[in-house]
Amino acid sequence: MDRTIRLAQYSLLLGLLILALKAGAYLLTGSVALYSDALESIINVVAAGAALFALSIARKPADAGHPYGHAKAEYFSAVLEGVLIVLAAISIIYSAYQALQAPKPLEALGLGLLVSLGATLLNAGYGTYLIRAGRHLRSPALVADGQHLMTDVVTSGGVLAALGLVALTGWTILDPVMAILVALNILWVGGRLVGSSMRSLLDEAAPPETQALIRRLVAEHAEGALEAHDLRTRHAGRLTFIDFHLVVPEHFTVGQAHAICDRLEAVIEREVPDSEITIHVEPEGAAKHRGVLVL
């Protein structure tokens, strides 16, 4: 089984466990801040399910209807997660407002905090692992899922701190106030997730350092050619699409030009994993003299 699919499955199972723990903490205490924490966990479960579905689609090979593959499906998962976070924030703010209007005493606070702390530690461990694995596997869906878990950890820490103060001081107003702060934080994170995924859906170019690496590799390994120009890159999930024009001497045969292209493709694929490369060969007379000069 693909490792990314397996990690997404684990994320879904963990999300269900965390949801059960946080829902239990809320039911024990009646805290609106713990309610906000539990609500975010519901989104984690939905998002993990969406990520699993998107990853299963993204891993399908290219076909006649999708010659460039299905990798962009992962970005739809990240967009969905961002939208769900925004909806959760609105619900939390509404509940917190109601709690401010009619404050309630909290019950079994010590036990509720202990249960929530256990759930937070589980989230922290797996969220950290998921981000590292997602970056290594070049999976936007896994990275987004891990970042959401870490956001959950931060907000849960704030909730635990606020409820600890409630237990020490008896200031129950801190409960809905903390819930509102949690909502504003996850609203900001949701907006960032949507923005990042939308940019990728619009064929955002590879990072400047990746483009610089490609130019250097072409300059160093295109021996026999004269110039490369019109370099373009774009991301689609774990894939990086690269295309450029390669200028060769007028007298070169097709076989000579093809050998240079094969050499370039091999070295670029080695240095830029999961890359798809297209090279357009041009004779010397078509050179624009404004691209990468071959060393």
- Residue that terminates a domain, selected from 172, 202, 232: 202
Task: Copy the structure tokens of residue 76.
Answer: 């739809």
- Residue that terminates a domain, selected from 202, 233, 255: 202
Mean pLDDT of 89-112: 77
Which range, 102-106, 188-192, 195-199, 253-257, has the best average confidence (pLDDT)? 253-257
Claim to verify: residue 177 and residue 243 sit in the same structural domain:
no
Q: Is the pLDDT of residue 115 over 80?
A: yes
CATH number of the domain residue 277 falls in: 3.30.70.1350
pLDDT at 196: 67
Claim to verify: residue 70 and residue 136 sit in the same structural domain:
yes
Q: Is the pLDDT of residue 295 over 60?
A: no
Task: Copy the structure tokens of residue 237.
Answer: 């999930």
Claim to verify: residue 148 and residue 31 sit in the same structural domain:
yes
Cα 16 from Cα 19, distance rounded (Å): 5
Claim to verify: residue 9 and residue 57 sit in the same structural domain:
yes
Q: DSSP secondary structure string, 31-74? A: -HHHHHHHHHHHHHHHHHHHHHHHHHHHTSPP-SS-TT-STTHH
Residue range of the domain that includes 235: 208-293
Confidence of residue 99 (pLDDT cuts 50, 70, 90): confident
Claim to verify: residue 159 and residue 233 sit in the same structural domain:
no
Share of the chain above pLDDT 70, in %: 83
Claim to verify: residue 125 and residue 266 sit in the same structural domain:
no
Claim to verify: residue 133 and residue 90 sit in the same structural domain:
yes
Query: 12-39 burial by CB neighbour count: b if 16+ within 10 A, else e?
Result: bebbeebbebbbbbbbbbbbbbbbbbbb
